[in-house]
Amino acid sequence: MSKIDRRNFIRKSSEIVAGGFVANTLLQHIERSEQQQVTSKTKEESKPVLEYRTLGKTGMKVTAVGFGAMRTTDAAVLAQAVDLGINFVDTAHGYQGGNNERMVGEVLKGRRKDAFVCTKLKISSIENMKSDLETSLKRLQMDYVDVLYMHAARSIDVIQNEDYMKLYEQFKKEGKARFIGFSTHSNEATLLSQAAKDKFWDVILVAYNFQREEALTKAIKEATDAGIGIVAMKTQAGGYETKEMGNISPHQAALKWVLQNPNVHTTIPGILTFDELNEDFQVMNSKLGWNDRKTLYHYGKAIKGKYCTGCNACKDQCPYGVDIPELNRCYMYYEGYRDQEFARANFAEIKADFHASKCMLCDECSVTCVNGINLTERMRNINKLLA
């Protein structure tokens, strides 16, 4: 029976049996009931539903939006994320001088099963990496991590290095890491394609966003076809604040763009505040729409000449060996993330032979950026701000 028919039936029946008062009372009750149902349904529809994906051959059911804890200092924000159901947390041995792992450990103490935890070891000597893992586990107050990465792999030689492969296999056998992988910021498509052929690594953490080249999207599919779990970082393309965008935030649209790719199993946007947590959390189970694409179009125009896409077209072109892609990444942390301390910490890890100080030898940079970055100005700014 339709709502209108139901009301008419009640009205006519009540008038016959008990007069208009009963009819009005019943109708008011029905209207309140219907309004409550609408309100309840609206609340239910507005509450995001957690979206899960399977992280490759690991079989882990992870939330599509994870938690990038790299720069998080407020433990309450991470705790709230876990309370909401976000179950994938990313940190590293070197983040915040170890304080980041300590924070993750404190938040998850007593609730280890509520989240999959990933950390990373800087590529170093075998003994140093063994020691670093023991230190990380103590900081995290855990016997094991769910995913252990080699941090910032850049070449095939690294991901095929037999000593590193044996070491990470040993970590698995000892139960200190359930699954192993590597993270990469550069040369990504090549590394993913090779990893797909080798079928050794379980998970790869890759910089991926709407500004990345099509070759990377294809390589990600190769990797997932080989059973490798794919985690996307740098999803917000630098997180720049731009006057051109006004009050429109591009960050939900950017995250939606990454998650429209079914071969991306989870993401780790950097989350510092409750507002950022809410913004990213709302993306789960949502689609990339026309307005989102329009937003990304304008955001792409706004950051052109600022954001380094990591295409590596400039790599090895400098006659003095300056590591332009890595320096651009440090500058993104300074300009986009607006985190001077983090930018300088990453800059300090670049060998002096590859620093922008050598750019002072040139009146003008001989390397041309295909994305329109003024490298002469950029390298001088980096030397001034970060050196």
37 domain-assigned: yes
Residues 231 and 338 both lie in one domain = no
What are the pLDDT digits (tens) for 343-383? 999 998 887 767 777 787 888 888 999 989 999 999 989 98
Residues 102 and 248 in one domain: yes
Rounded mean pLDDT, 146-157: 97
300-351 pLDDT tens trace: 999 999 999 888 889 888 888 898 998 999 999 999 999 999 999 999 888 7
Q: Is the pLDDT of residue 253 over 90?
A: yes
Same domain for 373 and 256? Answer: no
By the 8 A CB rule, do 134 and 174 touch?
no
pLDDT score of 355: 75
How does pLDDT run across 212-235, given as a tens digit for each residue?
999 999 999 999 999 999 999 999
Residue 58 lies in a domain: yes
Same domain, 56 and 39: no
The SS3 assignment for 352 reads helix
pTM for this prediction: 0.86
Residue 3 has pLDDT above 60, yes or no: no
265-311 pLDDT, tens digit per residue, is 999 999 999 999 999 999 999 999 999 999 999 999 999 999 998 88
Do the domain assignments include residue 311?
Answer: no
Mean pLDDT, range 23-31, rounded to an integer: 43
- Does 33 share its domain with 103? no
Chosen domain end from 302, 333, 361:
302
Answer yes or no: do 247 and 374 share one domain.
no
**Model confidence at 36: pLDDT above 60:** no
| Residue 2 in this model has a pLDDT that exceeds 50 | no
pLDDT, tens digit (0-9, with 9 covering 90-100), for 70-123: 999 999 999 999 999 999 999 999 999 999 999 999 999 999 999 999 999 999
Whether 236 is covered by a domain: the verdict is yes
pLDDT in tens, 167-205: 999 999 999 999 999 999 989 999 999 999 999 999 999
Domain carrying residue 258: 52-302
Residue 33 reports pLDDT greater than 70: no
Res 15: pLDDT: 41
User: What residues pair up with 53 in beta bridges, in sequence order?
Assistant: 62
Question: What is the tens place of the pLDDT at every residue in 197-212?
Answer: 999 999 999 999 999 9
Question: Using one digit for the tens of pLDDT, what is the confidence trace for 43-65?
Answer: 444 456 899 999 999 999 999 99
pLDDT at 310: 84
Closest to 333 measured CA to CA, from 295, 386, 255, 277: 386
CATH code of residue 119: 3.20.20.100
- In this prediction, residue 353 carries a pLDDT of 64
Within-domain flag for 145: yes
Residue 127: per-residue pLDDT: 98
The mean pLDDT value for 5-15 works out to 43
**What DSSP assignment string belongs to 194-223?**
HHHHH---SEEEEE--TTS-HHHHHHHHHH
What pLDDT is stored for residue 242 in this prediction?
82
Structure confidence at residue 32 (pLDDT)? 46
Helices (H) and strands (E) counted in the chain, each on its own, are 15, 10
Name the domain count of the chain: 3
Q: Enter the tokens of residue 334.
A: 């300074």
Sign of the Cα torsion 102, 108, 110, 115 reads negative
Distance, in Å, from the CA atom of 323 to the CA atom of 354, rounded to the nearest integer, reads 5
What amino acid is encoded at 269 in this protein? P
Going from the C-alpha of 4 to that of each of 10, 17, 24, 40, the distances in angstroms are 10, 20, 15, 21
State residue 48's pLDDT score: 63
- Whether residue 129 sits in one domain with residue 32: no
376: burial class by Cβ within 10 Å (0-12, 13-18, 19+)? middle
Q: Same domain for 41 and 57? A: no
